Amino acid sequence: MPSPHPKATLLVARPDDGGSASPHALSARVDAGELLRIRPGVYLEPLAWIRSPPWERPLIAAAAQALARPETIFCRETALSLHGVSLLHPEDFVHIRVSSNASAGRRAPRAMTGRTSMRRLQQLCHLPDGTTLNAERALRNVPTRAFQFPQRYRVSLKKGLDPSASRNYRAALVDVELPELQEVSVPGLRLRAEPVELATMDTVHRLSFPSAISVLDGLRGGRHRAGTELVEVGLLAWGEALPSRRARLRTDVAWKFSDGRSANPGESWSRVLIHDLGFEPPDLQVKLITPDGALYSDFGWEAAGVVGEFDGNQKYLQAEQYGLSPQQAVLHEKRREDGIRRLGYDVARWNWQTLQNPWQLESILREKGVPRRGL
């Protein structure tokens, strides 16, 4: 949902500035509760951080990291997010590359709030709409997790890039713009990241199966910034980044299960659970012709006369973008479902909460008569 007010930008301290942009002046504003210190020398207005969705805060921190250290190379989940890949469970870290094991590991940044009083912090978390947030949670900074380069490209297990591999690796790096964020904009900023294929190969085998499928579904469906469908040959070009046979097997299994027709992470997770619960695999993006026109249902079991709909609630939260009130969006969805039922289909619906309690999904599908595999 677009912000109803102008977006904030990150402020960078200038050591040679004796005025309002000097490190001393900006640090004083942090202590007064007027700014937050996202990374050393990089600051942001508190409300912009507080109003930002939790899944966007790691990208804000990545932007601050790039402003503080332009040479930073972003990898793994952070690189995927910069490439526009939607993660099922975004990690609350900024992932970067470092050139030695001694520099690897988690790095907790300084508190964003400096010496701001608790009373002031509580005031910051009392929003204009009357909402009061937990100050400790809302004003928590995003730590950094630093990783050595993939094993194939290192001189040794402990050292940095092998000179023979460095040229190809560095030539593959890309400079990407910060994705559009709800509350923050940094015009002209470009962040150096590993290519999406390398980031995928270095990440997917480390994820849970639903998270891995969510990444691959999105890439195969072209739902990332390049907008092109990821093909297997593109991944295999970076296969040498996989550290073991087990990692290769996990990646291969996930690739074979993935399907670009799953339109969002919730649908990807749903498909994994449907399989794990023993139900027949559904058709995806089933086209139905109703009196009001063609529509697509997320899942379909034609033989059982059942369609499935994952409700991520975004259609209601973002209704105003399409000229609808949330109430109108609800009525539109009801008419849509009524049209499906008139075609003779039963409709199974579930949401994020259902996915977090798989037994609920099993109950819904069983009651609608969705067939089991092998029965």
Return the pLDDT at 183: 95
3-class DSSP state for residue 45?
Answer: coil
What band does 375 get if pLDDT is binned at 50, 70 and 90? low
Q: Are residues 176 and 270 in the same domain?
A: no
Question: Could you tell me if residue 240 is inside a domain?
Answer: no
Q: Are residues 280 and 173 in the same domain?
A: no
Q: Which residues contact 318 (CB under 8 A, 6 or more apart)?
A: 1
What CATH number does the domain containing 276 carry? 3.40.960
pLDDT in tens, 113-131: 999 988 898 888 887 777 8
Residue 315 corresponds to which tokens in the numbers above? 């259609």
CA–CA dist 41, 24 (Å, integer): 10
Token pair 């690796």 is found at 169
**Position 178: which residue type?**
L
* Higher local confidence (pLDDT), 53 or 1: 53
Residue among 365, 374, 372, 367 nearest 270 (CA) = 365
Number of domains in the chain: 2
Return the pLDDT at 319: 40
Cβ count near 92 (within 10 Å): 16
Q: Are residues 179 and 303 in the same domain?
A: no
Residue range(s) defining the domain that contains residue 85: 11-199
Residue among 307, 303, 215 nearest 262 (CA) = 215
Question: Could you tell me if residue 217 is inside a domain?
Answer: no
Q: Are residues 280 and 151 in the same domain?
A: no
pLDDT in tens, 219-231: 999 888 876 677 7
What band does 328 get if pLDDT is binned at 50, 70 and 90? low
* Higher local confidence (pLDDT), 330 or 71: 71
- Whether the model clears a pTM of 0.85, i.e. scores above it, the answer is yes
Mean per-residue pLDDT, 91-108: 90
What band does 15 get if pLDDT is binned at 50, 70 and 90? confident
Mean per-residue pLDDT, 137-164: 88
Return the pLDDT at 231: 76
Q: Are residues 147 and 16 in the same domain?
A: yes
Question: Could you tell me if residue 239 is inside a domain?
Answer: no
Q: Are residues 340 and 192 in the same domain?
A: no
CB 292 within 8 A of CB 334: no
Evaluate if residue 321 carries a pLDDT over 60: no
Question: Could you tell me if residue 211 is inside a domain?
Answer: no
Domain boundary among 199, 231, 247: 199
CB 35 within 8 A of CB 44: yes
Question: Could you tell me if residue 235 is inside a domain?
Answer: no
Mean per-residue pLDDT, 250-262: 95
What band does 341 get if pLDDT is binned at 50, 70 and 90? confident
CA–CA dist 288, 300 (Å, integer): 10
CA distances from 367 to 74, 274, 364, 370 (A): 46, 14, 5, 8
Return the pLDDT at 324: 44
Q: Are residues 193 and 280 in the same domain?
A: no
Instruction: Give the bridge partners for 287, in sequence order.
Output: 296
Evaluate if residue 316 carries a pLDDT over 50: no
Q: Are residues 186 and 83 in the same domain?
A: yes
CA distances from 282 to 4, 28, 221, 307 (A): 40, 58, 17, 9
Among 170-179, 198-207, 230-239, 364-373, which stretch is predicted with the lowest mean pLDDT? 230-239
Residue 276 corresponds to which tokens in the numbers above? 């794990």
Q: Are residues 30 and 106 in the same domain?
A: yes
CB 308 within 8 A of CB 270: yes
Question: Could you tell me if residue 112 is inside a domain?
Answer: yes
Q: Are residues 273 and 194 in the same domain?
A: no
Strands 42-44 and 36-39: antiparallel
Domain boundary among 170, 199, 228: 199
Return the pLDDT at 246: 96
Domain boundary among 199, 221, 250: 199
Residue 121 corresponds to which tokens in the numbers above? 């912090």
Token pair 């973002």 is found at 318
Question: Could you tell me if residue 243 is inside a domain?
Answer: no
Q: Are residues 39 and 184 in the same domain?
A: yes
Question: Could you tell me if residue 102 is inside a domain?
Answer: yes
Q: Are residues 271 and 166 in the same domain?
A: no
Return the pLDDT at 121: 87
Mean per-residue pLDDT, 346-362: 95
